[in-house]
Chain A
């Protein structure tokens, strides 16, 4: 806030220097956390001391990474998308239900579900000015309810994930390169990281999150930006949901439920501010990897569901706390 005093001190104390470096390059710290977690994982479980295990961890992380990609761009606009999990489940379920019509057709239907849900979110938030939290919450519960009704109305047996989608979710190129990473996560990451910096829409997304009034005065029509953002987010969720269906090779209406809170957690651990205008996708990638490795660690340690939940909560809180402390408001804290 302080608009005063631009004078820059020549030699900041060492701690501040460290803090500045962290603020500038949060990815170093995130890399360190990821490496430490993986080292712990590998030392606890010999099975994880292989390139193969790295490969399968990244394969699984891709799903969270893609859902969290949508969450990240929505958070950047100072919103939040609480419909990601319902949309992912719905896309996966409907895709599997239509598997008989061919994989391409099934996937297109899944993506269309994402597009429609995203447009409804975007219209509510962008045009009617509804708070994102409540709008996406409402749309999420509508999608969830309709999915359950739909699933009960199906009489022609259990849904079947199309072969190519199952292949995409579980297969690898050669021994080590997961197909979902190669063909989906990597391109999406590249587009998002570069796009947020070097595309007009990317600039507009971040700007709208930082100050919507300034954007309007500069001629940016914020409703267009928000509409695009929510549509992209839901399409990404639908994509991730279908890959998850392929990974599990089975779908049910609650398929992606756990991914809702994890997607927010991955983005926040990666340094994206829930108040918008600050952050990016590179951090989220690390957030997704960290959470996935953590999950593997808890599985290896044979933690019960109860322990797992408690540790999840504690670690998300701890990481966010450290981040807020080091970044000095990097999470957008105004306190």
Chain B
């Protein structure tokens, strides 16, 4: 007897098919992973299971009984509680008010938080004042307090620092020990491999296989996720170089003037005297746990925040950007972490890419159509953006949206690319393409500063990496030495000696 059985479920939105035919069974006392590329239909399936959407076709059975969920409340009554990708706590209410709104008893939530070592939270705090990782944990505690048979976690670890993610895994195992089940959705296949009993793979809205990741390995999951289309990837997207350890792609002339020189940068109390260079043709990685000043560092370089001290030079001349416009004029452009911050959702791919071309009053007149078409076309080709749904960018998949945010700068031109976690929540195929593009750009003499929360990425793309801890660069490593273990040690603020020990 299965706890949950999803049979032949389909869902479409207008002409867009989100789920073609999905099947899924979750057994009692199991941690079951749901994996797939962006746009494979994972989030849609979650929303069908939680009563957010209703399926067009197919059945959902809980404990061998067919159930219909007309609303989120009805799914909760059936014993399904979810932590969604986006926080569901109301920002203008206090935690206590949020719990009252959702009929969850505060003491139960308090107990769950205590189990996660988070007992000091004041329930009178207004949710909007709390940091995002804490909100995810609160969401989790609230879901647990409902005492569901099935706990659904949709990309919960994406926004969590590793110590909090560890606590989530403990909770999952504990939950399994009590004979309940977890449906775990994640892009981090390592987590799937280590913590999940079985994994179901979705591709293009259908399930294409269920396996035991411990036996089959992560590589098999990747192959299933990508499907036969993976072979169609253009040569440079799956180039050998991007899947191997980067041993120094670029020959860097140290005599040359660095593209960017950052000297003793101070931003609030978040960045405390950071200095580094980026040379032409170099990709410099930034690795850090959540909240070590990386946000402020990128915000200051991109002109989103004023700096409180230190100097920044681009090509030897001092710059002090107080708006993104200043930074762009100086040649430094930003691809932010959140695509929502970068895209015009209702406008076309074309308009999204050409946006920076008109950021000066001098360009407010008639546009040069031929030039614009050429720039956009080149950028689209270079990034291989899937333009089938190009009339509105919000209809593109996450990976294609991310490509658009990068393509914009290819069209506008730049010297230094600031990338903040560019591959978070993106499928492997797109990731590889972006990696390959970055190497190409570097080869053309561009400088790249890239923060990434996915540590293996450092060795795939970067030439060297800066590790931030409490607003300072605590370690600088060449790519060869920057394996996950070394980075994690440094990111936790351990000295090299401790790291070895």
Q: Do chains A and B touch in the complex (CB under 8 A)?
A: yes
* A interface residues (Cβ-Cβ under 8 A, vs B): 1-9, 12, 16, 19-20, 198-201, 203-204, 206-207, 210-211, 213-221, 224, 228, 277-278, 328
Q: Which of the residues A1, A200, A219 comes within 8 Å of B324, measured between beta carbons? A: A219
Which residue of B is nearest A199, CB measured?
Answer: B366
Task: Give Cα A207 to B343, complex, Å.
Answer: 9
- Chain A residues near B339 (CB-CB < 8 A): 3
- Chain A residues near B344 (CB-CB < 8 A): 206-207, 210-211, 214, 277
How far does the Cβ of B185 sit from chain A's closest Cβ, in whole Å? Answer: 12
Q: Once the chains bind, are A221 and B355 in contact (CB under 8 Å)?
A: no
Q: Once the chains bind, are B355 and A7 in contact (CB under 8 Å)?
A: no
Q: Which of the residues B359, B394, B398 comes within 8 Å of A221, measured between beta carbons? A: B359
- Chain A residues near B336 (CB-CB < 8 A): 217
Task: Give Cα A213 to B42, complex, Å.
Answer: 28
Q: Once the chains bind, are B39 and A6 in contact (CB under 8 Å)?
A: yes
Which residue of A is nearest B20, CB measured?
Answer: A7
11 pairs from A and B in contact (CB 8 Å cutoff): A2-B44, A7-B17, A7-B18, A20-B14, A20-B15, A199-B367, A201-B358, A204-B358, A204-B359, A220-B359, A277-B344
Assuming the contacts A9-B15, A217-B336, asked whether A199 and B39 have C-beta atoms less than 8 A apart, the reply is no
Q: Once the chains bind, are B341 and A210 in contact (CB under 8 Å)?
A: no
Task: Give Cα A19 to B354, complex, Å.
Answer: 29
Q: Once the chains bind, are A217 and B41 in contact (CB under 8 Å)?
A: no
- Chain A residues near B341 (CB-CB < 8 A): 211, 213-214, 217
Size bracket, chain B contacts: 35 or more
> Chain B at the A interface: mostly helix, strand, loop or mixed?
mixed
Closest A-B pairs by Cβ, 10 of them: A200-B358, A219-B359, A5-B18, A201-B364, A219-B328, A210-B344, A200-B363, A219-B325, A200-B364, A218-B356
Task: Give Cα A217 to B325, complex, Å.
Answer: 8
Task: Flag whether B351 is at the interface (Cβ < 8 A).
Answer: yes
Q: Which of the residues A4, A200, A216 comes within 8 Å of B357, measured between beta carbons? A: A200
Task: Give Cα A133 to B41, complex, Å.
Answer: 40
Q: Once the chains bind, are B408 and A4 in contact (CB under 8 Å)?
A: no
Q: Once the chains bind, are B334 and A217 in contact (CB under 8 Å)?
A: yes
How far does the Cβ of B148 sit from chain A's closest Cβ, in whole Å? Answer: 24
Assuming the contacts A8-B388, A9-B12, A200-B365, asked whether A221 and B323 have C-beta atoms less than 8 A apart, the reply is yes
Residues 314-346 of B, flagged 1 when their CB comes within 8 A of A and 0 if not, give 000000000111001100001010011111111
- For residues 48 through 106 of chain B, which have their beta carbon under 8 Å from a beta carbon of chain A? none
Q: Once the chains bind, are B346 and A199 in contact (CB under 8 Å)?
A: no
Task: Give Cα A319 to B355, complex, Å.
Answer: 33
Q: Which of B341, B396, B400 has the most CB of A within 10 A?
A: B341
Task: Flag whether B1 is at the interface (Cβ < 8 A).
Answer: no
Task: Flag whether B476 is at the interface (Cβ < 8 A).
Answer: no
Which residue of A is nearest B336, CB measured?
Answer: A217
Which residue of A is nearest B369, CB measured?
Answer: A198
Task: Flag whether B167 is at the interface (Cβ < 8 A).
Answer: no
Which residue of A is nearest B362, CB measured?
Answer: A200
Task: Flag whether B205 is at the interface (Cβ < 8 A).
Answer: yes
